[in-house]
Amino acid sequence: MSAWVLPDHIADVLPSEARHIEELRRELLDTARGYGFELVMPPLLEHLESLLTGTGEALDLQTFKLVDQLSGRMMGLRADTTPQVARIDAHLLNRRGVARLCYCGPVLHTRPDRPHATREPLQFGAEIYGHAGQEADLEALLLALDCLKATRVGPLTVDMADVRIVRSLLAGVPVDSAAIGRVHAALAAKDASELAALTRDFPAAAREGLRALVSLYGDEKVLAEAEKVLPSSPALREALANLRWLAGHVQGARIGFDLGDLRGYAYYSGARFFIYTPGASDALVRGGRYDEVGAVFGRNRHAVGFSLDIKELAAVAAKRPLKAAIRAPWVEGGPDAAELREAIAALRGQGETVVCVLPGHESEVDEFHCDRQLARDGGRWRVMAL
């Protein structure tokens, strides 16, 4: 095997794609800053017990582990940034009120989370801590949509659900966690026959409610249907009302509901959303409310947010046209050289890209598509059309 062959699902990012990704990164961070979000930069690696505290088995299996050569302790390379941001909110900032935090950096996965995915996503996310009301849910959703609109991605479809619906149906059902897991899997697969077999000994209300969830997906009419066929409870009524309220404030995107969708069930504590666009193999954005995320750090703050992989986003976002540059000759010594350097510095100070052509490379391909040149004219260096 060649020494320069990279591991599976790991790839170099070459200039054109890197420029595209960087432009998207800046647009996302600028959009978040426009909402009042502050940027944080957690470390790529931490002591393993800190990095994985309270995250569950799934993230543990996705985390690369290594031994710290200084302390001999086990360390981990982060597979998700949200637990780190929760730690920052709980222990370093320790604010009493609302904290709006965003981040952008690489994460590493031991395995790709789906076919053809990278094991080194560039994760961007935004999180609101300290507000229990649905206003924070809405702000996170609107920011996620505005981030995608800023990167000129569309049309957009928002898929919404609320984990409290399934939890309300399972409340008081005397089964163990393994059985609950099988019920979740059947709901996720919309396997009505398997679900019927698994719930045959459940109380009638729970059994019929869970079976009804298999077909409760579609537009806003699903919410009205759910109110008719699902057993009423305060948690269920609140969840349905919250979904209706959130959907009513969203413009410029198609809204759908899948009340039996349990992705992230163990993580989310309330409403959750996924955002899709044509051309993407899966959801571009995953987000929602996860009020328990800070509990393991001794400060159980209300939290809601979302994240996305900028590399996935780059695959569906239209590339920006390359800003044309200016070609400049190479002049060796003398007053012309000093004046040329001053002219180049002035142009770069104005935000122009000036590419100096090194001696002997005048005929090489111009990767910056220069449409002007810096040339001597009338005793002065002037920018002229090529």
On whether the CB atoms of residues 282 and 267 are closer than 8 A, the answer is: no
List the strands of the sheet with 74-77, edge to edge. 45-47, 74-77, 64-67
Main-chain phi, psi angles of 102, to 5 degrees: -130, 165
Using only the alpha carbons of the chain, give its radius of gyration. Answer: 26
User: What DSSP string runs through 281-348?
Assistant: SS-SEEEEE-TTTTGGGT----EEEEEEEHHHHHHHSPPPPPPP-EEE----SHHHHHHHHHHHHHHH
Distance, in Å, from the CA atom of 337 to the CA atom of 73, rounded to the nearest integer, reads: 57
State yes or no: 55 annotated in a binding site: no
Distance, in Å, from the CA atom of 268 to the CA atom of 19, rounded to the nearest integer, reads: 34
State yes or no: 267 annotated in a binding site: yes
State yes or no: 49 annotated in a binding site: no
On whether the CB atoms of residues 102 and 39 are closer than 8 A, the answer is: yes
State yes or no: 127 annotated in a binding site: yes
State yes or no: 123 annotated in a binding site: yes
State yes or no: 80 annotated in a binding site: yes
Distance, in Å, from the CA atom of 85 to the CA atom of 92, rounded to the nearest integer, reads: 10
State yes or no: 268 annotated in a binding site: yes
Buried b (16+ CB within 10 A) or exposed e, 13-29: beeeeeebbeebbebbb
Within the chain, what is the greatest distance between any pair of CA atoms? 94
List the strands of the sheet with 303-309, edge to edge. 38-39, 99-106, 122-129, 303-309, 285-289, 271-276, 157-162, 254-258, 217-218
Residues comprising the binding site for L-histidine? 80-82, 123, 127, 263, 267-268
Residues comprising the binding site? 80-82, 123, 127, 263, 267-268
